[in-house]
Chain A
């Protein structure tokens, strides 16, 4: 349920960016990392509730989901985690997190008059 505050923050940010002569937000592009701790479906669910009777009602939330990268400590392969394991999919050796994706930001919005 912690997505509620996130959806609220997205809505207020988007509305603050709406130019004066535009009346409707139709699409919001959001980048979300797999270590951000937020679930896109839940963000969208709360957003659709919160945005009722605002210029963002009905806007499509388009998520670009970023996946963290690991590097194998033996063969050096860079990979994304597969299911439960964090081991290398090639040689099954231990991996180390190379790039943790914790981001959550709005890239752009599309608006109509």
Chain B
């Protein structure tokens, strides 16, 4: 006997993600899911963004193991919650739900640094307002072609470490072509989280997203 089912396999995760969005609205908070490869510079990008933002911010750090990144963030006086997935390759909504219980914050931006991985984190809704894909110059310009899902789903793509551009053969046109093919309405920001180049434009855009969410 054949039984029609029509059920989203990720339904349980997505249910929690919807609850998280409700919670964020209650707290007047915006949550960003930052996704990129290991070594793309996600932590530096987040801390540099917070430094320039002028809006109360907290960080949820996702790593397979260790508290290296969360110590780095805490050392700058930024509130941080560490999630260790213990081998898991991505964060899911349930992990974020638990982490949010440890954060007593309102009127803030919550940066979630997902596990360093361009594949798995793209598939799981964690209740974020939007995803930001972080790719870096040393990784090469082919990332949108090899890992299309994350670039398709991200509201913004950040090309980090542009200060290294002069030392490497990075085909900027090919990178842009790949990202815009997958995400015609997406925004691309070229930044250096080390010297701060390009951060103004990104910060301006980020502030606008925050303002728009709550009609501030």
Contacts and interface: CB of A to CB of B under 8 A. Distances in A.
Main secondary structure of the interface of B (DSSP, over half): mixed
Contacts, number: 97
B89 A106 contact: no
Interface residues of A, number: 36
Contact of A105 (B6, B88, B178): B6
A3 B13 CA distance: 14
B183 A97 contact: yes
Bin chain B's interface residue count.
35 or more
B8 A105 contact: yes
Given A2-B90, A35-B149, A100-B152, A106 B180 contact: no
B92 A5 contact: yes
Given A37-B122, A104-B8, A86 B181 contact: yes
A104 B10 contact: yes
B5 A13 contact: yes
B18 interface: no
Interface of B: 1-13, 87-90, 92, 119-120, 122-124, 142, 145, 148-149, 152-153, 177-178, 180-184
